Amino acid sequence: MLISAVVFIPFLLAPAAYVLGLRDDKARDLFVIGVSFLELVLALVLFFRGAPPLDLNGIFYTGVHFETGGFRRTYALITALMWAGTSLFAREYFLEEREGLARYWLFVLMTLGATEGVMLSADLMTTFIFFEILSFTSFTWVIHEETPSAIRAGYTYLFIAVIGGLVLFMGLVMLQFTAGTLFYDELAAAVAGADRTLLLAAGTCILFGFGAKAGMFPLHVWLPKAHPIAPSPASALLSGILTKVGVYGILMTALTALAGESAFGLLVLLLGVITMALGALMALFSINLKRTLACSSMSQIGFILTGVGMYVLLNAAGETEGAQMALSGAMLHMVNHSLIKLTLFMCAGVVVMNIHSLDLNRIRGYGRGRKAFMAAFGLGALGISGVPLFNGYISKTMLHEGIVEGIHALPGLSVLLGRIEWVFLISGGFTFAYMLKLFICLFVEENGSRKRQRAMDRKKTCMDRASLTAVCGSSVFMVLLGQPAVMVSLSAFMTGDAERLPFHAFAWESLRGGLISLTIGGLVYLVIVRRFLMKDGRYVDRWFRRFDLEDSVYRPLLTGLLPDVMGAAAALFGENMLLAPDARVFFLLWSILARALCSSVDALVVLLRKTLVREVPVRRSYRGGTDRLQALAHRTERAAEPLLMNFSFALLMTCIGILLILGVLLFFILRG
């Protein structure tokens, strides 16, 4: 009963928030905050008391199944805490901009239920169902502003979500075929006699699908685009929780079905290291506050995946103690990163709602003299940088010790792991460098314009009491979870290991890695940031796009490849055949039919949006002319445009995903 309440109450109350928001914004805001804190209370009860497993058969054909292990209960609580904090903060954040909030809160509550469904799932199919629900409900956060850049970021997010979901489903079908079950508790025994090649192929597809949501390289392209565009409360959830949904799926699959597959562990490790290093580079060279934090999220996901990969490699080699250290570091860094990004993105929200800008040159000096704001941001920066006595230090030290254990225990990989250790330490140094860049920019330096600096200093208060409670309250966890006894106990609770790890946080071997990273970070800030990222006293964004795969690789590749494909088709079939009258008539009729099918569905949805499910006008409303009929037609067209493009885009991505599935299945049929 308790699990049902945690998962389904947000779904049941979400429509009420939407209807209430159409009449009274203030009552709607209080209602959503109340639902979020009710969820927090339920999650607290679940965390301390637990609950028996729950099976709801007959839903979604296979049924949905839930259970409450230590790791699941912890992340159910973290999820509820994230929603409570962002909901409290969002009331002031959206004080000036109320348009579209009814829709926003509807999907925020639905995403809350779907996220809890993932975190408490007992099998991969239940995880997949709620994973797909939250992929589409959270899409509305990205396009909330309804600007061209928001729509483009939303398309990128939707592209990754649809393709990732289809490939994930293909992996689940293959795993079900080879193991006979998708329940986490049964997978370890079920895969003992399975075909290793098919199992590895299934694991790779699952890694691809969940990695798309996690922001793993090379599927990370949505992350630096979606976070700066989305409202700051939504960015905190996207970074702090929704990326962890993907990591959750990877971690649970690695713990059960693929715990003994060293090839899978090596794949996760290499992708994690690339994600970690590339995200750190992108964050270092970004001069947009939220984009820097978004790239930082990508890098920290890489740290977590590195721990997962080391766990699988060490477990496959029979090194139980080292594997447990790597696993504990990965789980604890998940928790730490969620809470750190809750604080940092809400701090970014404070800047946005006061300055209405994210450019470091414009917001420079805003935090001077604002002690509570500076303390909250500083604690988050210290935590994510891995400074001793703060939460990120302990989890990163455990991850580092897992790598060091692998160097000694895996002689065949010792050279590779030795290099990975240095990438790990340098990436940690980059983390300190870009957080130092943000802190000095906000709280130490003065703005380049004295007039702008005086205007920022004139307003003494930067947030109300509710926002102050949310921001400063979340920053307390940076200190609380920085205590080794607390973290070791939490690690034992999440992993289910009764024996505590022999972890000594402040031994010299543990401190050495952290001090190396901090030293590298200080040097990188002085040499790279101050000398190359700044010119004439201003931050310049001339390096970022070189590390942005979509702009530097993916998009140019497609624009260069498509003409070559058309040219190859003309050479293969002959230009006369492609340009023949019969061919042109066929393509014309086909395009008319396809357009009619797409438009009929879209028109029905638009009709519902204009009648039964009424909505507020879109932001780019028609302002010219006096013809009321023309104005109404124009507004309807603008309202339908994002929907038409979304439906067609999703349909195209679905077709591509189905072709991928059929291609892989055909490969295995021919191979067999």
Same domain, 539 and 451: yes
Alpha-carbon span 465 to 84, nearest angstrom: 15
Same domain flag for 420 and 331: yes
* pLDDT band of 616, cuts 50, 70, 90: very low
pLDDT number for residue 572: 45
358 shares its domain with 437: yes
Identify which has the larger pLDDT, 520 or 584.
520
> For residue 65, what are the β-bridge partners?
55
How many beta carbons lie within 10 A of that of residue 60, not counting itself? 12
Shared domain check, 591 and 535: no
The 8-class DSSP code of residue 619 comes to S
Helices (H), 138-256: 139-142, 148-179, 184-190, 196-214, 223-229, 232-237, 243-256
Q: Are strands 64-66 and 538-539 parallel, antiparallel or unpaired?
A: unpaired
Q: Say yes or no: 595 and 483 in one domain.
A: no
Each residue of 365-391: pLDDT tens digit? Answer: 888 888 888 999 999 999 999 898 898
pTM, to two decimals: 0.81
| Stretch 556-581: mean pLDDT | 46
* Residue 604, in any domain of the structure: yes
251-277, pLDDT tens digit by residue?
999 988 888 888 899 999 999 999 999
Cα separation, 547 vs 564, in Å, equals: 26
pLDDT, the chain, mean: 79
In the predicted structure, residue 203 carries a pLDDT above the cut 70: yes
The pLDDT of 483-491, averaged and rounded, is: 86
Of the residues 526, 543, 560, the one at which a domain ends? 543
Same domain, 511 and 611: no
Q: Which pLDDT belongs to residue 659?
A: 60
Q: How many CA atoms lie within 13 A of 130 on its CB side?
A: 29
Give me the amino acid identity at 21. G
Question: Does the pLDDT value for residue 302 go beyond 70?
Answer: yes
Q: Classify residue 597 as exposed, middle or buried by CB count within 10 Å of its CB (0-12, 13-18, 19+).
A: exposed
Helix (H) or strand (E) holding 54: strand 54-56
Residues 381 and 463 in one domain: yes
The helix (H) or strand (E) run that includes residue 302 is helix 289-316
pLDDT of residue 642: 47
418 by DSSP, 3-state: which?
Answer: helix
The answer to whether residue 145 is domain-embedded is no
Q: How confident is the model at residue 138 (pLDDT cuts 50, 70, 90)?
A: confident
Q: Is residue 376 domain-shared with residue 506, that is, in the same domain?
A: yes
Q: Are residues 584 and 539 in the same domain?
A: no
- Higher-confidence position of 60 and 318: 318
Asked whether the predicted pLDDT for residue 180 surpasses 90, the reply is no
The helix or strand, by DSSP H or E, that contains position 64, with its residue range, turns out to be strand 64-66
The yes-or-no verdict on residue 647 having pLDDT over 80 is no
In a domain, 372, yes or no: yes
Q: Which of 218-227, 337-346, 494-503 has the lowest mean pLDDT?
A: 494-503
Tell how strand 54-56 and strand 64-66 pair up.
Answer: antiparallel
R_g of the chain, CA atoms, integer Å: 25
Q: Is the pLDDT of residue 133 over 50?
A: yes
- Total count of domains within the chain: 2
Shared domain for 439 and 520, answered yes or no, is: yes
Whether 589 has a pLDDT exceeding 90, the answer reads no
Q: Is residue 186 part of a domain?
A: no
| CA angle, 34 then 40 then 46, to 5° | 140
Q: What percent of the chain has pLDDT over 70?
A: 78
Range of the domain at 639: 580-620+629-671
Using the predicted structure, report yes or no on whether residue 582 has a pLDDT greater than 80: no
Of 543, 571, 605, which one is at a domain's C-terminal end?
543
Q: What pLDDT band is residue 607 in, cutting at 50, 70 and 90?
A: low
Query: Is residue 291 pLDDT above 70, yes or no?
Result: yes
Same-domain check for residues 487 and 401:
yes
Backbone torsions φ then ψ of 624, nearest 5 degrees: -105, 160
Segment 7-36 mean pLDDT: 81
* pLDDT band of 605, cuts 50, 70, 90: low
Q: Answer whether residue 409 is part of any domain.
A: yes
Per-residue exposure over 16-54, b if at least 16 CB sit within 10 Å of its own CB, e if not? ebbebbeeebeebbebbbebbebbbebbeebbeeebeeb
Contact between 167 and 135 (Cβ < 8 Å): no
Residue 288: DSSP 8-state: B
Residues 589 and 536 in one domain: no
Do the domain assignments include residue 652? Answer: yes
